[in-house]
Amino acid sequence: MDKEAINVAHPTKTLTGTVALTGSKSESNRALIIQALSGGSVEINNLSSAADTVTLQQALAAAAVAGKKSGNGETEIDVGPAGTAMRFLTAYLTRVNGNFLLTGSARMKQRPIGILVDALNTLGATIRYAGETGFPPLSITGGSAQQTAEVAVQGDVSSQYLSALLLIASAMPNGLKLRIAGELTSRPYLTMTLQMLAEVGIQHHWEDNMISIAPQQAKSATLTIEPDWSAASYWYAMVALAGEANLFLPNLKSNSLQGDSAIVEIMSHFGVASSFENGGLRIQKTSSHSSKSLFDFKECPDLAQTVIVCAAALQHDLSFTGLHTLRIKETDRIAALQRELGKFGVELIEDGTVYHLKTGGLNRNANPVIDTYEDHRMAMAFAPLGLVFNQMRINEPEVVEKSYPDFWKHLKQQGFVLS
């Protein structure tokens, strides 16, 4: 495959058969931290093959080696563009022995982390900024004494800050009382963290805006990772845009821990029917579309790009809320969507906290060249448009390795022509 660009087309517009998705990156990354703190009592099945998960696994191994060394030198851990790894490691490294320089890609050094660092330092951690204040890289001294058990953190910036703290809470000498300040964004991701902790016997108490976890040890357990619902969302978009489609996605569950399972309900408004059968999920194209005009992504922001691009191609003039966290992701996803949709005549117009999609100018004869901005979700959100345009081109297609390494292979298996 060309590392710089790939042309995407689908001659038949028909999708059929089975697509076996990788394990959830969100579940896998939480499981790795839980396992690392368990003292060997937790095992993991079906770990994701996503680059972010591989990065976190390697970083935890490097931290374990550093903890056994004598001396005061810093161990550098570079997570590249892996945002979850950066947040989770910032907290994790405060609980292990060693001195660490935690760094990442150029974009990672632009992504704020001050809220999490302030919270950890309040609890007694020793974290200094090795570059610009409020951003990576971070100089972390592990194993500092705990100063307090209670801390308040904004709930509307990144749920990963909250999850990072909760994952290490049981390993803190005095436990943790985490007060969520203001509105909580992406609640399902926080619920996922707490439910996975419960699976290994770590209990919590959540009352109003306070979550409490006492010091406790994980029990012997195996965490089995469900396939990735975020990856499934791209297939929902493809089914919606295909001429005919009937796909089976094995091992996805109706009672998923993953907030992105909300795609089932969302895409029912775009003519995609879902049924759980034979140990998995079947999705089929139908002629049924609803009149729903406003979609809120506060609980599932990682679905926003996929749904907005799909709606644009279907020429549905819809409105969207809950997009505020998209500004601080792998790229400014709002600006990136606006630029790339504009390449085939569609507008995404900001109106305070609401965004309106205007598709009257959609040019179906366009052969757009889509930039991906080092963002895996940009590539995968726009790839389904190969079912709409005679030809489209996606720059830097290898960004998909961050979360769904087999994405292009699976598209070829489903009749997409990639050149």
Query: Which of the residues are catalytic?
Result: 302
Q: Are the beta carbons of 171 and 37 closer than 8 angstroms?
A: yes
Cβ-based neighbours of 58, under 8 Å, separated by 6 or more: none
Closest CA to 227 of 71, 358, 410, 369: 410
Phi first, then psi: give them for residue 62, nearest 5 degrees: -65, -40
Please give the structure tokens belonging to residue 210: 């306070």
Please give the structure tokens belonging to residue 362: 């959609």
SS3 track for the chain: CCCCEEEEECCCCEEEEECCCCECHHHHHHHHHHHHHCCCCEEEECCCCCHHHHHHHHHHHHHHHHHCCCCCCEEEEECCCCHHHHHHHHHHHHHCCCEEEEECCCCHHHCCCHHHHHHHHHHCCEEEECCCCCCCCEEEECCCCCCCCEEEEECCCCHHHHHHHHHHHCCCCCCEEEEEECCCCCHHHHHHHHHHHHHCCCCCEEECCEEEECCCCCCCEEEECCECHHHHHHHHHHHHHCCEEEEEEECCCCCCCCHHHHHHHHHHCCCEEEEEECCEEEEEECCCCCCCCEEECCCCHHHHHHHHHHHHHCCCCCEEECCHHHHHCCCCHHHHHHHHHHCCCCEEEEECCEEEEECCCCCCCCCCEECCCCCHHHHHHHHHHHHCCCCEEEECHHHHHHCCCCHHHHHHHCCCEEC
Tokens 């600006």 belong to residue: 335
Distance CA(323)–CA(305), nearest Å, equals: 10
Please give the structure tokens belonging to residue 130: 């090795």
Pairing of strands 319-321, 5-9: unpaired
